């Protein structure tokens, strides 16, 4: 297999305005995710993923790599194996994000919420400030373990209340016995949009 740096160099992009299109990649890379600043590939025949940042976000790679190194040995976060100017390599985490759970109707338990709290608390003990916590970067594995990914903003100084708001919604609505545990993806995306625009009165 090629080195991680060689695999990262095989990835090419084209930017059109605010959109980025993936042009090419090594056959050993399987695209499994696209974010605001990077593409994520599973490296075939391994349990690792390669996260490649596209312009102008390349500098995030080193910031996120440093944070993963600070969290080394913590069971709630993936291990990091390599990083470069515009990429990093971490564990592949199989499971469902909290967003997936809502779409599929998989119940999220109160114990899992407590485990997420514990994971974030342990990051704070390392001097970090867990931020940008949302439904798509918290994963529940097949053996009911909590994993948190996309930690690039864990060093920001600004207070982030997203997780507190998610917990509040869980306790006020989701945790009720008759509240539906499944929701269409379109509705969830609309709620996320309204939340970002501060258009949901309960979370202003």
Mean residue pLDDT of the chain comes to: 95
pLDDT band at 204 (very low <50, low <70, confident <90, very high): low
Task: Give the mean model confidence (pLDDT) for residues 127-146.
Answer: 96
Q: With respect to residue 178, please indicate whether it lies within any of the assigned structural domains.
A: yes
Domain total of the chain: 2
Regarding whether 165 and 136 lie in a shared domain, the answer is yes
Regarding whether 172 and 102 lie in a shared domain, the answer is yes
Regarding whether 70 and 28 lie in a shared domain, the answer is yes
Domain around 81? 7-91
- Residue 145, pLDDT > 80, answer yes
pLDDT band at 40 (very low <50, low <70, confident <90, very high): very high
Residues 6+ apart with CB under 8 A from 109: none
Regarding whether 160 and 78 lie in a shared domain, the answer is no
Alpha helices in the chain (DSSP H): 4-9, 60-70, 98-104, 110-125, 162-169, 185-196
pLDDT band at 202 (very low <50, low <70, confident <90, very high): low
Q: Which are the catalytic amino acids?
A: 132
Q: With respect to residue 80, please indicate whether it lies within any of the assigned structural domains.
A: yes
Regarding whether 106 and 66 lie in a shared domain, the answer is no
Task: Give the mean model confidence (pLDDT) for residues 90-101.
Answer: 98
pLDDT band at 26 (very low <50, low <70, confident <90, very high): very high
Q: With respect to residue 2, please indicate whether it lies within any of the assigned structural domains.
A: no
Regarding whether 197 and 104 lie in a shared domain, the answer is yes
Q: Which residues of 66-97 are buried (b: 16+ CB within 10 A; e: fewer)?
A: bbbebbeebebbbebebbbebbbbbbbbebbb
d(CA 164, CA 183): 21
Regarding whether 113 and 68 lie in a shared domain, the answer is no
Regarding whether 101 and 29 lie in a shared domain, the answer is no
Which segments within 12-75 are labelled E, that is strand? 12-16, 19-24, 29-34, 38-43, 48-53
Regarding whether 31 and 108 lie in a shared domain, the answer is no
Please report, for the domain that includes residue 51, its CATH number: 3.30.200.20
Regarding whether 127 and 43 lie in a shared domain, the answer is no
Q: With respect to residue 1, please indicate whether it lies within any of the assigned structural domains.
A: no
């Amino acid at each position: 297999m090629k080195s991680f740096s060689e695999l990262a160099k095989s990835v090419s992009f084209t930017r059109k305005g605010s959109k980025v299109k993936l042009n090419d990649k090594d056959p050993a890379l399987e695209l499994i995710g696209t974010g605001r600043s990077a593409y994520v590939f599973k490296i075939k025949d391994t349990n690792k993923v390669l996260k490649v940042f596209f312009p102008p976000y390349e500098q995030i790679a080193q910031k996120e790599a440093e944070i993963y190194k600070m969290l080394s040995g913590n069971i709630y976060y993936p291990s990091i194996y390599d990083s470069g100017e515009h990429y990093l390599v971490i564990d592949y985490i199989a499971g469902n994000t909290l967003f997936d759970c809502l779409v599929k109707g998989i119940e999220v338990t109160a114990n899992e919420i407590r485990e997420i709290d514990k994971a974030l608390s342990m990051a704070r003990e390392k001097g970090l400030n867990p931020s940008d916590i949302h439904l798509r970067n918290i994963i529940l594995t097949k053996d009911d373990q909590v994993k948190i990914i996309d930690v690039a903003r864990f060093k920001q100084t600004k207070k982030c209340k997203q997780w507190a708001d998610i917990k509040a919604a869980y306790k006020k609505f989701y945790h009720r016995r008759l509240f539906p545990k499944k929701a269409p993806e379109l509705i969830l995306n609309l709620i996320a949009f309204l939340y970002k625009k501060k258009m949901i009165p309960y979370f202003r």
